[in-house]
Structures are given as structure tokens and as C-alpha cells.
Amino acid sequence: MSDWMIYGATGYTGVLVAEEAVRRGHRPILAGRSAEKLRPLAERLDLPYVAFRLEDQAAVLQNISVVKVVYHAAGPFVQTSAPMLNACLAAKVHYLDITGEYPVFENTFAHDAEAKAAGIGLISGVGFDVIPTDCLASYVAAQVPNADSLEIAFAAISKASAGTTKSALALMGGGGRIRRDGVLQSVRLGQGARRIRFSDQERTVLPIPWGDLSTAYRTTGIPNITTYMAFPTALTRMMGLGSSVMDVSAVLRNKTINGMLRGLTERFVDGPNEVLRRDGKSYIWARAANTKGESAQAWLETSEGYVFTAAAGVRVVERVLSSPPIGATTPALAFGADFVLEIPGTTRFDNLA
């Protein structure tokens, strides 16, 4: 018998999580849509597996009822999270996922009362999205009395997997977002470029509609939040110019263009290789401020994003199995702002030389 299940186990991230789980002595059930794809991985890792589709809610409920925790790694999560989360509520099974998509977080938090009634935890974003950013946001917010603004930025120096790319396309198609006075507001994609000093170097960043707009708001209560991602300077200029003459998100919502991009993603995007995973690093910055002019900022360096996700995800499962949080929550609220420092390869800075 296994205590937990990885759904989406044959995806890029799912494989890394399964391998990390075995290294730490776990025997999760591998799950996904295709038995043909699951079988070779299960045989290589000597793990049990089961195939079922999320569209078949009876099959989902039947198969997850034998475990205590579902680690959901099958994106795009805006399409796949709800059916798995609903089944977890019905089966009274703890739900985890690795989304970075703010609509998914909003939906997860909307089920807080049901999760508490069922006695289970719902935690979205238990990987690089959004453990480092959520923990750093909590850390800086705690240093500023009555903080009313929060900025978060990250630079992930690696390749995106096919699943991450498809999730990003779906998210960007919904347009830009910021949080002002506690409310999510629309902004034009490609606008708002600025320079931010990370722990290794200064980079150009753009506002993006990231999950921290939901998680950091729930973790800190700060009403004004902007989330940024680092891009090459030339690309930010092109995006800024492009957004001044057209709605980039509308282009991405075009069914023909979106279908073409998804097809190209399936064919050519495969995520970082072993060398990139071994040598890559990711960088995070956060700053909280109040109306009195008081502020605090801090920085994180972590291992490559997918390596971090695998290591962090298994540790989250261990925490949930040993002392589960109840209700819909965030990584920092569930495990504390210092949880990120438990993940190998992570360093936090309060000052830069």
C-alpha cells in the first residue's frame, strides 16, 4: 500500500518527483491517463501504477480513495486542477499541486470551508511555483508593520518544460494582472518594465499574472501586490512596443495561434537537460513597504527550478503525511517562512554586498 499518488507522473516534473520520492524511501502510486506511458517508468522505479482519466470522475474517486495524499502534477492546471480537487474533497484526501496559475489558486482557496469540513488540506503551488516566492513574501512582510505594498520578482535560469510552457500560454492569454486594494485588476501585458537587483546581478523584469497575486495576498494580507519575471532586455522592449499597438493576450487567445503554439510546444519543448538541472540556479527578490516609508527586502537563491520542485514537493508530502494542515492554505502559512531554507541549495540574503 502507498500513502500517496503522483498524478501526471510521466510528465517532465512528475518523473523528477517520482525519482526524488524513491531516493527518499517512498513508494508512491504513479498515475496518469496512459498505462502505456506509465508502465516503463513504474518498472524502472519498481513502483505501482494506475491509469485513469480526469474526465471520468467515478474512476478518479475510486483510484484516489486508497491514498492519503494526491500530488497533482498534470497541467495546464486551469483545466486539470478542479476535477482532481473536487474528487479529493469527496474522498477526503489531501490535495497538492504545482501550479503557478492564479485562477487555480483562487479556486483552491474558494474551497477552504469544504476542506475544513472534510478534515483535509488543499495546497496549490508546492514547487518552485510558489514555495520560494511565498516564503520570501512572508519573511519580508513580517518585518514591516502595516505593510500595504508588496513586490515579488523571480529569475529562473533554465528551460521550461512542455507542461510549463502550455500553462504559461493559457495564463498569458487571460491578460496581465496586478492586485490593488485587495482586488485583482487587469493590466496590459508587456507594460511596466523595470530593473531589479537580484543576488547575482541586475535584470530587467516585467509584471506577469503569477500565482503570488493570490498566495501572497492570503499569506500576508497585503492589499497591493505586483509580481515580476525577468526577461532579456531586448525581449522586454519588443513586448512593450508590441503591447502599445496590439493586445498580446488577445493574440494568444486566438484559437488558431494558440493551437499552433501548443502543437509546437508538444513537438519541440522538452525541459532542461541534466546539465542545466545540475548547474542552474533560480533567483527571487521581494520587498514589502508601508505608507510611512518603512520597507524590508530580501533575496533567495535556489537550485534550478525543476530540481527545487522535486525536492520541495516530496518534503511537502512528508509534512502533510506527518502533520497535515487543514483547509485551503499556502506553503508559507502551512510550513512557515523558513521552510524554503530546508530545501537543498537554498540561501536567503538580507543584504547584498
pLDDT, tens only, 217-247: 999 999 999 999 998 766 566 555 445 444 5
| Placement of cell 491509469 in the chain | 51
Residue 265: pLDDT band with limits 50, 70, 90 = very low
What's residue 143's pLDDT? 98
CB 213 within 8 A of CB 225: yes
CA–CA separation, 245 vs 241, rounded Å? 7
Read off the C-alpha cell for 171.
Answer: 495564463
Tens of pLDDT along 55-84?
999 999 999 999 999 999 998 899 999 999
Residues 6+ apart with CB under 8 A from 219: 134, 137, 138, 141, 330, 332, 333
Residues 6+ apart with CB under 8 A from 322: none
Read off the C-alpha cell for 40.
Answer: 516503463
Tens of pLDDT along 79-127?
999 999 999 999 999 999 999 999 999 999 999 999 999 999 999 999 9
Tens of pLDDT along 181-216?
999 999 887 788 899 999 999 999 989 999 999 999
Residue 275: pLDDT band with limits 50, 70, 90 = confident
**Whole-model pTM?**
0.89
Is the predicted pLDDT of residue 167 greater than 80, yes or no? Answer: no
Neighbours of 45 (CB within 10 A): 17
Evaluate whether the domain defined by 131-304 bears CATH number 3.30.360.10: yes
Give Cα separations from 23 to 56, 76, 127 (angstroms). 32, 27, 18
Helices (H), the chain: 12-23, 35-45, 57-64, 77-91, 102-110, 112-118, 131-141, 162-172, 212-220, 233-245, 248-253, 255-268, 274-279, 305-322, 331-335
CB 134 within 8 A of CB 128: no
Evaluate whether the domain defined by 4-127+306-335 bears CATH number 3.40.50.300: no
Say how far residue 207 (Cα) sits from the centre of its chain.
16
Domain boundaries, the chain: 4-127+306-335, 131-304
Per-residue DSSP letter, 210: B
